[in-house]
Amino acid sequence: MTKKVSIIVPCYNQAHYLKDSLGSVLSQTFLDWECIIVNDGSPDNTAEVARKWCAKDDRFIYLEKQNGGLSSARNAGIKIAKGDFILPLDSDDLIHQNYLKKLVPILDQNKKLAIVSCYSNFFIDSIDNVTYKLRPKGDNYKWLLYVNQLVATSLYRKSCWKTVGGYDENMKKGFEDWEFWLSITKLGWHYKIEDSFLFYYRKAKQSMLVDTINNHFEENKEYIVKKHKELYINDFDNCMSVMFYNQKTSRVSLAKIKKSTEYKIARAITKPIRVIKKFLKPNKT
């Protein structure tokens, strides 16, 4: 039996958050959904927690697979999904009870739209502790070239997923959703932002997004640019402006750090170590 919406919840080592995440799914005022919980080879008790939710409501479905990363987990869930529309939901995030009620009709009534998203609240520990409010912009791929305007938890047509071949499973270090949105919208599809705060993103000290930004930003962005190079070539002047602006910003930031008192103190403290290392270097003959 088909469903209007398939919610895909990949889970790896985050069983302790599933109660909140799946609870937000169960509380939806729009009822025509299924929720596929994808255990991506998680070593914790994800299986036990997920099966309890499946016993509670038969709209929850459990899928277990070997660990393959976020893109692989989402693709696996979507392959068995029966919904016309897909909603990815990470296992530590939540959606407002009216998320589907508000967004499904927008996508359903406008055949030119591929994706519909909303404003987001970034929170720590509790959704009442909001630390940042995200208000995305735009409606086409040009708005996505340099900044990802769409959070991963955005509603889209399953037919678009099929057309572009799903999420790129080579992208194991983040930004897979950014690349996915570009793949869809560059084909001429549009997206729409509902100006309501309907998504809750959990901020954590250690998360995939934090790791991506701190350690893999450049390599991921390079991968995206090369994969969709025709878009950036067509936007060459703007692309160069953005690149050199980022380069200048990095240089100015580094200069400020070097002028800071903390940097000078650290240099003074480590100077003896640098001197010792210099004398310990073997002489070249």
Among 58, 43, 52, 46, residue whose Cα is nearest residue 17: 46
Look at residue 227 and tell me whether its pLDDT is greater than 70.
yes
Look at residue 212 and tell me whether its pLDDT is greater than 70.
no
How confident is the model over 14-24, as a mean pLDDT? 96
* Averaged pLDDT of the chain: 90
Look at residue 1 and tell me whether its pLDDT is greater than 70.
no
Residue 281 is predicted with a pLDDT of 59
Give the amino acid at 255: A
Give the amino acid at 110: N
By the 8 A CB rule, do 151 and 134 touch? yes
Give residue-wise pLDDT tens across range 139-157: 999 999 999 999 999 999 9
Q: Which residue has the tokens 């070539």?
A: 233
Residue 213 pLDDT grade (very low, low, confident, very high; cuts 50, 70, 90): low
How confident is the model over 263-268, as a mean pLDDT? 59
> Which of 177-186, 214-223, 264-273 has the highest mean predicted lDDT (pLDDT)?
177-186
- Strand pairing of 83-88 and 3-11? parallel
Among 76, 48, 51, residue whose Cα is nearest residue 61: 51
Q: Which residues contact 127 (CB under 8 A, 6 or more apart)?
A: 94, 121, 200
How confident is the model over 219-245, as a mean pLDDT? 92
> What predicted TM-score, i.e. pTM, was given to this entire model?
0.85
How confident is the model over 98-105, as a mean pLDDT? 98
Residue 156 is predicted with a pLDDT of 98
CA distance 68 to 53: 24
CA distance 57 to 273: 63
Count of C-beta atoms within a 10 Å radius of residue 253? 10
Radius of gyration of the chain (CA): 22
Residue 274 pLDDT grade (very low, low, confident, very high; cuts 50, 70, 90): low
Give residue-wise pLDDT tens across range 159-204: 999 999 999 999 999 999 999 999 999 999 999 999 999 999 999 7
How confident is the model over 21-40, as a mean pLDDT? 98
Is 274 or 80 the better-scoring residue by pLDDT? 80
Look at residue 68 and tell me whether its pLDDT is greater than 90.
yes
By the 8 A CB rule, do 174 and 218 touch? no
CA distance 172 to 70: 7
Instruction: Identify each DSSP E strand in the chain by its residue range.
Output: 3-11, 33-40, 60-65, 83-88, 94-95, 113-124, 126-134, 155-157, 190-202
Question: What is the rounded (10 degree) CA torsion for 24, 27, 33, 35?
Answer: 40
Which fold is adopted by the domain 3-204? Spore Coat Polysaccharide Biosynthesis Protein SpsA; Chain A (3.90.550)
CA distance 162 to 130: 36
Count of C-beta atoms within a 10 Å radius of residue 161? 21
